[in-house]
Structure 1
Amino acid sequence: MNLAPLYICFPQYLIQQGLLALANNSGHFSEVKVFKHTSELKKLIGSHETETIILDYQNEDEGFVHELSRWIQTHPNLNVLVITDDVDSNRIRSVLKMGVNGFLTKSCSEDEILEAISAIKNGKTFYCNRVLKALVEEGNEFFELSEREKEVVKLIAAGNSSSEIADILSISIHTVNSHRKNILKKLKLKSPTELIIFAAEQGWVSLERK
């Protein structure tokens, strides 16, 4: 399997080095490079067929959104994960609508960061619990279920426990429970029973007895 590079752009040294260690240990990338400023990073964007970048989103940097939007439009195989302190839903939406793959906050758990890195490198989407909560509180029409969430729904509908789902998907029970909670919020459902009925209506599972 051909591995693509990862570029981490963060001014804070401790966060930068923490992400570097997690990325190197994941084994997902051909190389991992770190930068303090986007001006250093932009010289490398587009030098490989597929690239993944992790960026710090500072609200006071008005040029950030415009620069990032240009990168995404110019390089369709660029996978972007944004990390921020800000959980204002309007600002989050403005960045997500540009086509970034993922959005985390700096308070995310290690499990969420690792899962985000794994998803983003394959061009999939991932949003941490705080980001999802901010958006759900504003209305959940913005989201469809991610592929991972659909997998969780199917496994729940098949009668698997959180522990069994964690083993099947090779993720933590905490991550499974977070998925369950977020799925119910997104779909405005109140119970696992309603979730199973929803899955059947989507054709993901059958309620017929064999």
Structure 2
Amino acid sequence: METLKTNILIADDHSIVAGGIEAILNTAEHLNVIGVVDNGQKVLNTVAENQIDLVLLDINMPVMNGIECTKQLKAQYPDTKVIVITMYNRKQFIRELFEVQADGCILKSNSGKELLTAIERVISGKTYFDQLNDFIDAPREFKEFRLSEREIEIIELIAEGYTSKDIGTRLFISEHTVKTHRKNIFQKTNVGDSDELVKWAMNNKLIR
């Protein structure tokens, strides 16, 4: 008797990350990757045209981010499960994920085994938020550095490798504004360039 497979859609605009996730899923015979897309709107389009049981998606994507995508998915396709895979260990995102009724969340820094465990839990009808203790309340933790929410958001995008132009496009602000924020961030954190900033953010557990 053929094993019933779970159809999964991967949504991440980093091709290397998406490829790594797909490779992990391909190790499980009962998981079937339907496709890989790079933004939230494509997620909705793909789910509309295919039988998707579970969507694995990043929070920060162009066109439509993971939070808004999850909200619309749950409104239109309530039976489709959603697990958010993120590098942002921020409590703010967990609160937002609860609000839009995501079924789980896992940090990108975790192992493939952890991801498969999360998938098994969610497709069985449960939720997976086991890593809540790893999330921090960034605004309180970084008060001493006087970083604004916007500056923290830009740090996270810099850590993902985006240029000032890309960040401006994603946040709907000008490239000049992004560069001004970068200059202020460097001054507040006492770093000299983006590489030092990423190391600083990791050491202070803003990203993982």
Give the TM-score, by structure 1 length: 0.56
* Equivalent of residue 10 in structure 2, options 8, 18, 23: 8
Q: Secondary structure of the equivalent of 1:120?
A: helix
Task: Give, in angstroms, the shift of residue 10 of structure 1.
Answer: 0.8
Task: Give, in angstroms, the shift of residue 52 of structure 1.
Answer: 0.5
Matched residue, 2:70: 68
CA 1:66 to 1:10, structure 2 compared with 1: closer, same or farther past 3 Å? Answer: closer
Give the distance between the partners of 1:60 and 1:31, measured in 2 at CA. 22
Matched residue, 1:79: 81
Matched residue, 2:123: 121
Give the letter for the 2:128 counterpart. Answer: F
- Runs (4+) of structure 1 exceeding 6 A deviation are 59-62
* Equivalent of residue 29 in structure 2, options 12, 27, 30: 27
* Equivalent of residue 102 in structure 2, options 100, 103, 113: 100
Task: Give, in angstroms, the shift of residue 29 of structure 1.
Answer: 2.6
Greater mean deviation of Cα atoms: 40-49 or 114-123: 40-49
Give the distance between the partners of 1:95 and 1:10, measured in 2 at CA. 17
Matched residue, 1:134: 135
CA 1:48 to 1:4, structure 2 compared with 1: closer, same or farther past 3 Å? Answer: farther
CA 1:2 to 1:107, structure 2 compared with 1: closer, same or farther past 3 Å? Answer: same
* Equivalent of residue 47 in structure 2, options 23, 45, 48: 45
Task: Give, in angstroms, the shift of residue 106 of structure 1.
Answer: 1.2
Give the letter for the 1:54 counterpart. Answer: L
Q: Secondary structure of the equivalent of 2:135?
A: helix
Give the TM-score, by structure 2 length: 0.56
Q: Secondary structure of the equivalent of 2:4?
A: coil
Q: Secondary structure of the equivalent of 1:68?
A: helix
Greater mean deviation of Cα atoms: 119-128 or 105-114: 119-128
Give the distance between the partners of 2:63 and 2:97, measured in 1 at CA. 13
Give the letter for the 2:89 counterpart. Answer: V
CA 1:116 to 1:82, structure 2 compared with 1: closer, same or farther past 3 Å? Answer: same
Give the distance between the partners of 2:52 and 2:44, measured in 1 at CA. 15
CA 1:40 to 1:63, structure 2 compared with 1: closer, same or farther past 3 Å? Answer: closer
CA contact (8 A) 1:3 1:28 kept: yes
Matched residue, 1:57: 59
CA 1:122 to 1:85, structure 2 compared with 1: closer, same or farther past 3 Å? Answer: same
Q: Secondary structure of the equivalent of 1:76?
A: coil
CA contact (8 A) 1:23 1:117 kept: no
Listed as ranges, the gaps of 5+ residues in structure 2 are: 138-208
Task: Give, in angstroms, the shift of residue 67 of structure 1.
Answer: 3.0
* Equivalent of residue 17 in structure 1, options 16, 19, 42: 19
CA contact (8 A) 1:50 1:77 kept: no
Give the distance between the partners of 2:74 and 2:56, measured in 1 at CA. 13
Q: CA RMSD in A?
A: 2.6
Percentage of pairs with the same residue: 19
CA 1:62 to 1:40, structure 2 compared with 1: closer, same or farther past 3 Å? Answer: closer
